[in-house]
Structure 1
């Protein structure tokens, strides 16, 4: 709330500037130009002999484009040098623009030039000599909303069918393959599966994820059949731990490198399946050899007579728990995918038939749309009273503590009412000031103090346009409007803001209506127009 006391301070700002000798001076050869016309900016720097002077460079100075940079002139004055740098600037849009402070470096010390203002005016078109043409009639267009609806629904349907077919094929790939009757031992079945995998060549076709899934499942199947551990449902860490337990239980002698090689392949498979990482062809070949060598080593170290060992109650319970978790996870995925497809289809239908802006604003919500469509309030604020209609009631803000004693001596009455803040989605403020004595108020100069206050709060690239303004009830004033960039108070990201300020002089005082909102917000624009159309003042009582 305290950020907006500038709306009254701008009326109290003194216009006096204190002169001081500077090492750097700046000037322009014209304060008003037409669109596209060039004017000259001159920067002068005074320095001692031998000192290095660097002038500003760039393609733009603020909102003004640098068309030409002239060579530096040097003038000798007594024991010093005066260096003169000239630039040719222009702007291709009408408005009031500021040439910002420019840095001039003299002997590693930076000096700032003072900001200057240039007014860019439109070129008047002679409608007598220039032939005017009528606006072309609106052309009709055939509505294709239903066609788009059918296309989207068809894509969603076949996309869903394709997804479930893909899942079914993947599941079939991972299921154990039927093997010949003469291949009876687990190691022979594993070797046959390795050979078949290489013959299919899916790794060379770019299907690395599928290749690793089949590769590690061959090893998991072998370990589950020979060591009776829940290899198929275990994670990589769980599988290695179970392998250690089974080897110890069967009193097998297995080198630690076997565990390391097997775990390395399983980790690479996890990365390929879940992190979408694609190992190189050399790594794929090495993993194929590692995993085959690992299970071959395990097979060689198996006891000659493998005793059928039933899994312990703990292992059986753990295996059952893993299977239940897997089924639950599959159900969750199916439900989530179905909901996603339903929401996507509904959103696509609304987006195509009503427009995606409609979808965003009405389904996801829009703060200024809610303000526009809410219940508005018409009330009178301040002295002299300003009657205005707003989406929310404006709250009084105490700003007298920000006014100096010298400035307050000439003020009889000062009030301010506002909604929101300078950094919100929408902000409006009404300020009124009455002076004790009659003073000459220059409304055009009032914005300069506002602009300086905005700059202290981080505003930059302030584009200014001014024109006369008349309320629907005939009260005349001044309208200042344009855009600027403001830093977000939390993220510090700069956002573009549109502003309008209406100034009025009434009964030895000044009234202002200040509106700010995010640039391009069409709902905020409608709010602004409605507020401007509601401004009115009480008629003066006849004596």
Structure 2
């Protein structure tokens, strides 16, 4: 009986061992299948990434710097336009020695291949400990046709050197800082300030001086005064065009003519004709030698006396007297106006034009 029970127990142990062995084999097979699938997936992804030309690169603009110098660190990736890229998150401190001072947003640019896009992100880094530092690769996350994976950049080495110290010279005095030369940008505010202060002082003194002289601070330049004969001839033209004697305004007509002549006489000869009677004005001309010849004196005398008869004696002159009076007024102004001064240049030009005209006429005759 005991022998039979021993055999049964032995058989049960063998069965349990076989069951445990089969279960272990199945578990190992499952792990192997998962591992193979993962390798196959990664292998296919790598092949697909290479076919899509995805390349990540890390580089420095200088691999050798002095302590405290700054250097640019670039992360670049070339990828097809239909692939989404996520740049790695670079910490503020790399390898606990290298400090990231500044980072710029990723910049995109076209490549020779129209389907490939280049993206670059720049970092300004520095280091205050000498030594050689191997910056590790950074991993870019990529989305390739819905499949998420990562691709690494290469690693780069940064060599940081300290300043060489000459120990043979011994202690030396501390040198004072050099004064930087002044630039125009620095002195411009002072120059403008001095100019503004000077302008304020000048304006203050000028205003005090003008105030003491009872003059306004600013005056508008007066328009140059027109010559007396120009004004007189313009007024006579106006009177001629109005023809007041044809509108039964004979008195007004003669008043306008004589007033024009009297203002002209005041400006031209400094005779107060507007305040004098006709006889007093004529007497002033007679007492001044060589101002008027007999002809002009006779014409102005005839005009003034006729105008007095019309204005004060209600005399009605003949129609021809109206035209004759206006003619006498024009003659008096034109004969007594100042002679025009011809500049030497104008005289030379006129002489040359005259000579050229004579030469042309002579050539025409010879032809």
Tell me the TM-score normalised to structure 2 length: 0.31
Q: Which structure features the higher share of strand residues?
A: 1
Larger-Rg structure: 2
Q: Which structure features the higher share of helix residues?
A: 2
Q: Highest relative contact order (Cα 8 Å, sep 6+), 1 or 2? A: 1
Tell me the TM-score normalised to structure 1 length: 0.21
